[in-house]
């Protein structure tokens, strides 16, 4: 409520009151909310015919599924009626999923956040953080009051405790132009980052030895090129469930062209069902398998020797005594930057060579140079791989020897190959070693820089980035200290090195989704005096907030968006104004900026900002965006890794002489150095200390019914996927006297949850699974994050969601009757109860 | 105004029975969010006939209660919109806002050339807006029209709405309001 | 969600998205299998539902779509008993869509009538693909004119193994299930598929199915989809 | 396959129960509905002609529904 509105409503109420008291002055005298059309000037949202013409609004979906799907929204009489996939300018990227076409139920969810609110027990002078939680009560406040409070709290917090006590948190829940990044640079403070903390294992392992990519999935050939693959290994990803709207179809194209599809997964998934060869691996044994495949490749000499000589440091000479690379200056007075010493087989002399240089270099062998014993890096790798005979690994990993060999053989000998991991293997504590292992495996088979090579389950496109000028880096902005998520917890708990006091959170339902060991976070957050949260829905995370800001649904905003995963720049036309008092995030940011003296950096009208983007980018015109919804960017299918690698040598370091030493649970105190891939395991290890007490490994896979925790509150989807369940093999269930459909207690020494058991013949005995993304209120008791440790390893620094062991037992009788089994589930469960 | 427009309550003569339009008009006010102006209206004594409405107590507390029951954000909320109780997949689930019944209500308003003062702030099938419209109909149209509107709308959902509300522990003011509202629309 | 005109069944375990069979022990010998079967009205050539309707409310249109005249339907449900595909549902409840015209997309079905998938005849008449085809994320559904040998459906059925559900019953459904390794289908109006199946692109304009003898739907079974 | 949506007539004994369920309380003769349903499949299978089907049930349908507008009516069929 703005002040104006308050005045208006007060006047209206008095008018109505007067009517009730003194009699009806006229036909319309009882009206306050309604008014005669002739007084309203231009009729707004006038209902004409219900069968009126559809207006097709071009817009776009924008969660973190990487689909970047352009959508058509059909609006009739001012209301959104349905959503369809839009045919974009680059039409082969027409896409959209069950979730995208369910948006009408997100926009019109009766439990959307409607008005700004503050926790009733919170006040600037007496924040009472202990009163947060399930029982917290809220009261509606006006936008001006809410923004005043946020701005004042930022000011006071900075004044009292210094700028680093202002903590900015953003998840990945929404794409769009909000000005969030701009504002935080103008205001200062600290920020958190996925780097490190969440899903940063596989990518960093790959990056360490290739110098390519970051901590998430590495670059890969664009999807149009996937059809050229001869072998595809989907490793720990259910792409046909989690990315079926976009990347899965290209896999089928490859298959139709004759590619062999291998799926490595402990669960018989939608994706495993499509495989020519399914490797039902035991949880945590992925690096073992990669090494066994390398073993096969060495033994059968089916490695790509040309590639190894030219583009990797396989021929680099390594000192036998300390494992370091032989010093180039001992061979050449003027060695090239990053040059490696190799043994020239023709001259039997050591040479120093730079990047991208092949030649008759020995791949194996031992020599003594200047009295120093050396061997090749590849020899060290081969020695490591020799420890992982397929027969042994088959036993450890629960696989057949023949299948291991077939997978390796297909990858090495059938032509262009690809390995498509996702983030799952990185959800083990030491999952980065798998990143190193598969990057190394693909180096052996020469699968970089060729048509048909695939290195990740989703491709990235650089072209459709928006050219936003200085929008992301405003003049006068400061850079903020960044802490990985795994560090934030200790900041909150220990105040070291800084103690956050004020938190602005957006695009995120971390307490409902990606913060392991939930109780620890809830306690740690009591050190915050003020928590401000912007969202479309009331999530388990906004329940912890002191000030709640209702954000607009995507269809209620106007925006211009790049696309990371297909060559279309997308336009969002506004389907209608935000409902109730929800607001575009931009207006929230601009409102705070104005109050903090940065109003000049945020034009009143967001359109002005978008206009700058469009004017700034030769490829774009408003006309084209509005007409088509998308603008195709000029990109031809690209092959990744055609140039020198980003490592110091420009080569893939199949032998990493500069390897870090990993330390953490299950490892010797001195740690393990990772020159070559070494399978490291924590809780999945066969000899893990608590494995008898907690024998089952607990995984939380992505499902096709949610993107992270979004869409959990959509009735159409809840009709099919009603409640959190535990996939459990009937064998494991029967051992525990658990019948199909009974409620079970899943627990370990950290926490527990109660969910319904779902017999699944396709899940490996010894493994259980609850799909991720359920909200706290969806559980009969507890939450799937409760049993998961928030501990991270020295090198990995990544939350290990799947590195979790639990025991499962039939839940107590009182839980067998609950919100899902009672006749009237309204309010706690069922389709409309919310929860994301 | 038609011939048989009900007359207003005449407090000076002490007639305790308000007109139907007054009743619905007053109920509409009571279902709006409490504010200072709202308190003034309630305290003016004009609503005395509405037993229990003066039991609202402290305004701040009532606003917290109103937020909890009708705005959210938590699980206790009972969104006061018709479509939520009529357009869901089944009667046990909360349906959407802006459902087909919302359209149907909007058509009634349209038929009488009435518009929402602020069309975007809330869907038109808010209980207060429907009651206000019922007041308008009773002031301006034959009883049969009001009956038709009540039958097509308020009587179709208010029982479910208040049942849901009762499950979420309303205080004395809203308990009284529920009682008076269901009496009014069902009489 | 109201009435289900279209269900995607998991052919496998007892639960959605679960297989049946045994998990391979030590990597060997498993028998797990799972697939999906989208099941809606099959629009049979010899539709038993049409034959049993005492009041001729269920009828086969000129173009082959089996439809129901809701004004005629007396709700005896004989057609539901006769349908071997369990494709029909009875409207037990009052219509949920209060505006009398229906949703604006499909007409209102009053309480007490039987309803089912219409192949989105209201869209087909406008030259559009049925909604399930347009919205299938996996492009697993193809719709078109089976009398037109150049249509996408015709080409798919010609190229791949197909089967009809319960073909021993002689109902001759106009819905074909395609098997084999294949690219996802493309909607009727796109020309990508024609380019893929034979080297020469064919005419872009969609065939006029409404005037033709039969309209056909096909669901490419192995390409996934959702349940 | 998910229980609630298994196609019926396969196996037939199960269909019998499902048909009973469908027709229970339909307001018309459930037995007639079941017999007609089974025979309608026989037409599709070629075990029965439309004419035979029409004639077999004509009297019963007329008695039950007061009319027989089935499309199976043979040419020149006389009520």
Interface test with C, best of A73, A721, A762 (most C CBs within 10 A): A762
CATH pick for A682-836 out of 2.70.70.10, 1.20.1050.40, 3.30.930.10, 2.40.40.20: 2.40.40.20
- Pairwise CA distance, residues A632 & A832, whole Å: 38
Interchain proximity B100–C1, CB inside 8 Å: no
Mean pLDDT of B26-43: 84
Nearest to A110 among B11, B95, B118 (CB): B95
Task: Report the candidate in A326, A341, A290, A313 with the shortest Cα–Cα distance to residue A209.
Answer: A313
Residues in D touching C51 (Cβ below 8 Å): 36, 40, 43, 50, 53, 70-72
- B143-152 and B154-167 helices cross at what angle (nearest 10)? 50
What is residue C111's predicted lDDT score, i.e. its pLDDT?
A: 86
Interface test with A, best of C20, C137, C224 (most A CBs within 10 A): C137
What is residue B119's predicted lDDT score, i.e. its pLDDT?
A: 57
Residues in C touching D28 (Cβ below 8 Å): 76, 78
If residue B30 lies in a helix (H) or strand (E), which one and from where to where? helix B20-31
- What is the domain count for chain D? 1
Interchain proximity C99–B89, CB inside 8 Å: no
Is D58 a domain residue?
yes
Topology (CATH level 3) of domain A117-196+465-615? Rossmann fold (3.40.50)
Which residue segment(s) compose the domain that D41 sits in? 8-65
Is D2 a domain residue?
no
Judge A/B contact: 3 or more CB pairs < 8 A: yes
Whether C200 contacts C122, CB under 8 Å: no
pLDDT in tens, B102-156: 888 988 998 898 888 775 567 999 999 999 999 999 999 999 999 999 999 999 9
- With cut-offs at 50, 70 and 90, classify the pLDDT of residue B51: low
Q: Which residues of chain C have pLDDT under 50?
A: 1, 100-101, 188-216, 218-227
Residues in A touching C192 (Cβ below 8 Å): 92
- Pairwise CA distance, residues B82 & A773, whole Å: 30
- Pairwise CA distance, residues A518 & A544, whole Å: 12
Nearest chain A residue to C193, by CA: A92
Mean pLDDT of B7-25: 60
* Strands annotated E in A377-517: 417-421, 481-484, 502-506
Is residue B54 predicted with pLDDT exceeding 80? no
Is residue B50 predicted with pLDDT exceeding 50? yes
pLDDT in tens, A120-144: 999 999 999 999 999 999 999 999 9
Is residue B6 predicted with pLDDT exceeding 70? no
Interface test with A, best of B11, B90, B94 (most A CBs within 10 A): B94
Burial C40-70, CB ≥16 within 10 A → b, else e: bbbbbbbbbbbbbbbbbbbbbeebbbbbbeb
Whether A796 contacts A671, CB under 8 Å: no
Burial class (CB in 10 A: 0-12, 13-18, 19+), A276: middle
pLDDT in tens, C54-73: 999 999 999 999 999 999 99
* Span C6-22+33-223 CATH architecture: 2-Layer Sandwich (3.30)
Q: Please report which residue ranges of A162-236 form alpha helices under DSSP H.
A: 180-187, 201-210
- Could you state, in order of their start, the residue ranges of all structural domains in chain B? 18-186
- Pairwise CA distance, residues C53 & D64, whole Å: 12
What residues of chain C have any CB closer than 8 angstroms to a CB in chain B?
A: 1-2, 96-99, 103
Smallest Cα distance from D13 to chain C, Å: 13
What is residue D13's predicted lDDT score, i.e. its pLDDT?
A: 60
Task: Give CA separation, A750 vs A227, A519, A775, B152, in Å.
Answer: 46, 9, 19, 54
Topology (CATH level 3) of domain A217-444? Dimethylsulfoxide Reductase; domain 2 (3.40.228)
What is residue A831's predicted lDDT score, i.e. its pLDDT?
A: 33
What is residue B103's predicted lDDT score, i.e. its pLDDT?
A: 85
Whether A438 contacts A235, CB under 8 Å: yes
Is D74 a domain residue?
no
* Span B18-186 CATH architecture: Orthogonal Bundle (1.10)
What is residue C55's predicted lDDT score, i.e. its pLDDT?
A: 95
Burial class (CB in 10 A: 0-12, 13-18, 19+), A370: exposed
Q: How far apart are the first and last CA of chain D?
A: 45
Burial A623-657, CB ≥16 within 10 A → b, else e: ebbeebbbbbbebeebbbbeebbebebbbbbbbbb
Whether A695 contacts A687, CB under 8 Å: no
Interchain proximity C98–B89, CB inside 8 Å: no
What is residue C136's predicted lDDT score, i.e. its pLDDT?
A: 83
Is residue B181 predicted with pLDDT exceeding 60? yes
What is residue A40's predicted lDDT score, i.e. its pLDDT?
A: 52
Q: Does B86 touch chain C (CB under 8 A)?
A: yes
What is residue A271's predicted lDDT score, i.e. its pLDDT?
A: 94
Q: How far apart are the first and last CA of chain A?
A: 27
| Contacting residues for B170 by C-beta, under 8 A, at least 6 apart | B65, B69, B178
What is residue B104's predicted lDDT score, i.e. its pLDDT?
A: 87
Q: Could you tell me which chains touch chain B, where touching means 3 or more CB pairs under 8 A?
A: A, C
Is residue D11 predicted with pLDDT exceeding 90? no
Is D18 a domain residue?
yes
- Pairwise CA distance, residues A558 & C8, whole Å: 35
What is residue A338's predicted lDDT score, i.e. its pLDDT?
A: 93
Q: Which residues of chain A have pLDDT under 50?
A: 1-27, 42-51, 824-836
- Pairwise CA distance, residues A531 & A505, whole Å: 7
Is residue B1 predicted with pLDDT exceeding 70? no
Regarding predicted confidence, which is higher, B23 or B11?
A: B23
Polymer length of chain D = 79
Mean pLDDT of B75-89: 90
Is residue D41 predicted with pLDDT exceeding 50? yes
Secondary structure class of C58 (helix, strand, coil): strand
Nearest to A760 among C15, C105, C139 (CB): C15
């Amino acid at each position: 409520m703005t002040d104006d509105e308050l005045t208006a409503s007060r006047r209206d109420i008095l008018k109505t009151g007067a009517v009730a008291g003194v009699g009806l002055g006229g036909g319309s005298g009882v009206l306050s909310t309604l008014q005669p059309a002739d007084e309203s000037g231009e009729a707004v949202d006038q209902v004409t015919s219900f069968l009126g013409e559809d207006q097709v609004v071009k817009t776009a979906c924008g969660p973190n599924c990487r689909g970047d799907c352009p959508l058509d929204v059909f609006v009739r009489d001012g209301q959104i009626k349905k959503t369809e996939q839009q045919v974009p300018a680059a039409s082969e990227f027409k896409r959209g999923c069950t979730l995208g076409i369910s948006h009408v139920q997100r926009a019109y969810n009766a439990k959307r956040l409607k008005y700004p609110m503050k926790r009733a027990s919170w006040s600037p002078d007496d924040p009472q953080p202990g009163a947060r939680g399930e029982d917290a009560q809220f009261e509606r406040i006006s936008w001006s009051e809410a923004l005043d409070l946020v701005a004042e709290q930022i000011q006071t917090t900075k004044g009292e405790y210094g700028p680093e006590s202002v903590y900015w948190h953003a998840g990945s829940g929404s794409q769009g132009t909000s000005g969030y990044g701009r504002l935080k640079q103008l205001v200062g403070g600290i920020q958190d980052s996925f780097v490190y903390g969440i899903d940063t294992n596989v990518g960093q392992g790959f990056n360490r030895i290739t110098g390519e990519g970051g901590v998430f999935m590495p670059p890969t050939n664009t999807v149009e090129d996937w059809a050229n693959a001869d072998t595809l290994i989907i490793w720990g990803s259910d792409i046909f469930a989690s990315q079926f709207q976009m990347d899965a179809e290209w896999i089928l194209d490859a298959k139709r062209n004759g590619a062999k599809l291998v799926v490595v997964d402990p669960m018989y998934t939608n994706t495993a069902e499509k495989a020519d060869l399914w490797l039902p691996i035991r949880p945590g044994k992925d690096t073992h398998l990669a090494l066994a495949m390398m073993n096969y490749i060495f033994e059968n000499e089916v490695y790509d020797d040309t590639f190894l000589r030219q583009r990797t440091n396989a021929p680099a000479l390594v000192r036998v005594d300390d494992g370091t690379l032989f010093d180039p200056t001992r061979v050449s007075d003027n060695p090239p930057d990053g040059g490696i010493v190799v043994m020239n087989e023709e001259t039997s002399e050591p040479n120093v060579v730079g990047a991208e240089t092949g030649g008759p270099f020995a791949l194996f062998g031992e020599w003594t140079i200047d009295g120093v014993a050396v061997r090749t890096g590849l020899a060290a790798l081969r020695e490591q791989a020799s420890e992982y005979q397929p027969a042994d690994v088959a036993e450890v990993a629960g696989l057949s020897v023949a299948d291991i060999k077939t997978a390796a053989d297909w990858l090495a000998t059938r032509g262009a190959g690809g390995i498509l991991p996702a983030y799952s293997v990185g959800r083990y504590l030491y999952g980065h070693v798998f990143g190193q292992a598969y990057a190394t495996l693909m180096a052996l088979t020469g699968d970089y820089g060729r048509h048909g090579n695939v290195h990740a389950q989703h491709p990235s496109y650089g072209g459709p980035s928006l050219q936003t000028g200085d929008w992301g880096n405003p003049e006068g902005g400061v850079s903020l200290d960044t802490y990985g998520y795994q560090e934030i917890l200790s900041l909150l708990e220990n105040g070291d090195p800084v103690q956050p006091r004020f938190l602005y959170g957006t695009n995120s339902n971390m307490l409902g989704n990606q913060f392991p060991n939930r109780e620890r976070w809830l306690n740690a957050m009591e050190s915050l005096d003020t928590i401000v949260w912007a969202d479309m829905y009331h999530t388990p995370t906004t329940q912890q907030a002191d000030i709640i800001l209702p954000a607009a649904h995507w269809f209620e905003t106007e925006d211009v968006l790049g696309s990371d995963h297909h060559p279309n720049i997308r336009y969002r036309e506004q389907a209608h104004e935000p409902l109730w008092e929800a607001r575009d995030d931009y207006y929230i940011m601009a409102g705070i900026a104005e109050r903090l003296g940065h109003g000049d950096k945020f034009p009143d009208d967001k359109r002005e900002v978008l206009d700058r983007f469009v004017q700034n980018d030769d490829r774009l015109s408003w006309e084209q965006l509005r007409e088509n919804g998308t603008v195709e960017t000029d990109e031809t299918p690209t092959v990744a890794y055609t140039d020198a690698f980003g490592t110091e040598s420009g080569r893939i370091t199949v032998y990493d002489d500069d390897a870090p030493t990993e330390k953490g649970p299950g490892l010797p105190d001195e740690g393990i150095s990772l020159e070559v891939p070494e399978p490291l395991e924590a809780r999945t290890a066969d000899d893990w200390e608590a494995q008898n007490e907690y024998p089952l490994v607990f995984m939380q896979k992505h499902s096709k019914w949610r993107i992270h925790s979004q869409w959990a509150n959509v009735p159409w989807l809840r009709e099919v996927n009603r409640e959190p369940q535990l996939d459990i093999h009937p064998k494991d269930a029967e051992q525990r006297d658990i019948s199909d459909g009974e409620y079970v207690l899943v627990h370990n020494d950290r926490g527990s949850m109660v969910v319904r058991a779902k017999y699944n013949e396709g899940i490996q005995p010894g493994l259980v699974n609850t799909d991720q993304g359920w909200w706290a209120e969806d559980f009969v008791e507890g939450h799937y994050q409760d049993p998961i440790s928030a501990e991270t390893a020295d090198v990995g620094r990544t939350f290990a969601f799947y590195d979790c062991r639990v025991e499962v037992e039939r839940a107590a009788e009182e839980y067998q009757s609950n919100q899902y089994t009672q006749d009237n589930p309204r309010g706690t469960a069922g389709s409309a109860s919310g929860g994301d | 105004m038609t011939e048989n427009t009900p007359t207003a309550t005449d407090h000076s003569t002490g007639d305790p029975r308000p007109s139907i339009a007054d009743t619905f008009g007053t109920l509409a006010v009571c279902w709006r969010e409490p504010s200072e102006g709202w308190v003034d209206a309630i305290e003016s004594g004009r609503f005395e006939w509405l037993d229990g409405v003066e039991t609202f107590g402290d305004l701040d507390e009532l606003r917290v209660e109103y937020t909890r029951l009708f705005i959210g954000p938590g699980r206790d909320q009972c969104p006061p919109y018709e479509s939520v109780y009529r357009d869901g997949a089944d009667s046990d689930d909360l349906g959407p806002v802006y459902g087909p019944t919302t359209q149907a209500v909007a058509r009634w308003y349209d038929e009488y050339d009435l518009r929402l003062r602020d069309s975007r702030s809330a869907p038109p099938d808010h209980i207060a807006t429907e009651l206000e419209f019922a007041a308008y109909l009773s002031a301006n149209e034959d009883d049969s029209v009001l009956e038709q509107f009540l039958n097509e709308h308020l009587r179709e959902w208010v029982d479910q709405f208040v049942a849901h509300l009762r499950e979420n522990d309303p205080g004395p003011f809203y308990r009284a309001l529920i009682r008076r509202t269901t009496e009014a629309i069902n009489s | 969600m109201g009435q289900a005109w279209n269900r995607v069944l998991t052919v496998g375990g007892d639960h959605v998205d679960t297989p049946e069979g045994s998990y391979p022990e030590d990597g060997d010998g498993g028998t797990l299998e799972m697939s999906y079967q989208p099941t809606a009205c099959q629009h049979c050539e010899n539709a038993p539902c049409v034959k049993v309707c005492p009041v001729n409310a269920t009828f086969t249109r000129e173009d082959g779509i089996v439809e129901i005249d809701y004004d005629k339907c007396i709700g005896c449900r004989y057609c539901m008993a006769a349908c071997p595909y369990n494709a029909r549902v009875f409207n037990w409840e009052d219509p949920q869509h209060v505006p009398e015209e229906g949703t604006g997309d499909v007409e209102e079905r009053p309480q007490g009538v039987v309803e089912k998938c219409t192949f989105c005849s209201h869209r087909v008449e406008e030259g559009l693909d049925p909604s399930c085809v347009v919205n299938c994320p996996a492009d697993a559904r193809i719709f078109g004119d089976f009398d037109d040998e150049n249509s996408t459906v015709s080409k798919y059925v010609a190229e791949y193994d197909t089967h009809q559900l319960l073909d021993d019953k002689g109902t001759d459904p106009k819905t074909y299930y395609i098997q084999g390794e294949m690219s996802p289908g493309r909607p009727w109006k796109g020309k990508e598929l024609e380019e893929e199946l034979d080297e020469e692109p064919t005419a872009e304009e969609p065939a006029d199915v409404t005037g033709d003898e039969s309209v056909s739907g096909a669901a490419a079974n192995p390409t996934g989809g959702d349940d | 396959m998910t229980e609630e949506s298994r196609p019926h007539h396969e196996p037939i004994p199960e269909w019998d129960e499902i048909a009973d369920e469908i027709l229970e309380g339909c307001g018309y003769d459930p037995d007639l509905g079941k017999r007609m349903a089974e025979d309608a499949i026989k037409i599709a299978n070629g075990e029965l002609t439309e004419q035979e089907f029409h004639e077999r049930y004509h009297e019963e349908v007329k008695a039950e529904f007061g009319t027989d507008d089935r499309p199976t009516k043979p040419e020149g069929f006389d009520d």
